[in-house]
Amino acid sequence: MELEANLKLSLLSELYKNLLTQKQQKMLKDFLDNNLSISELAVEYNSTRQAVNDLLKRTFKTLEEYENKLGLLNKLESIKKNVSVSIEELKKQNLDKKFIEAKLNEILEVL
């Protein structure tokens, strides 16, 4: 799995992990955070590689569905972008108060 996809799954996992079953949470943590392979997970969970692979795929799909419905990751990315733009504007010391106010209001609207 590519790095960018793993990063997104890690972020989705952090946002929505409490909506997953305990087994899904533990296996996802072992896969993403502890870098266990599917074979290692199969041994750890006394299961087959196919069963582990199927569970991970269903879990990834579930996380994507939560994001599609709730959009928390997109909201966080929007907040980060607006905060960064506001910080850059402040660093320039070009204190365009209306611009900064507009960016901060955009952040509040996302929340």
State the CATH number of the domain containing residue 47.
Answer: 1.10.10.10
For the chain, report the end-to-end CA distance as a whole number of angstroms: 32
Q: Indicate yes or no: pTM above 0.95.
A: no
Task: Assess whether pLDDT exceeds 60 at residue 24.
Answer: yes
Query: 106 lies in which domain range?
Result: 73-110
Residue 41 to residue 30: CA distance in whole angstroms: 8
Q: Please check the confidence at residue 48 and state whether its pLDDT lies above 60.
A: yes
Cβ atoms 11, 71 nearer than 8 A: no
Residues 46 and 89 in one domain: no
Q: Which tens digits make up the pLDDT trace of 55-81?
A: 999 999 999 999 999 999 998 888 888
Same domain, 66 and 12: yes
**Phi first, then psi: what are they for 84, rounded to 5°?**
-60, -45
Mean pLDDT across the stretch 84-107?
74
**Are both 101 and 65 inside the same structural domain?**
no
Largest Cα–Cα separation, the chain: 61
pLDDT score for 91: 67
Count of domains in the chain? Answer: 2
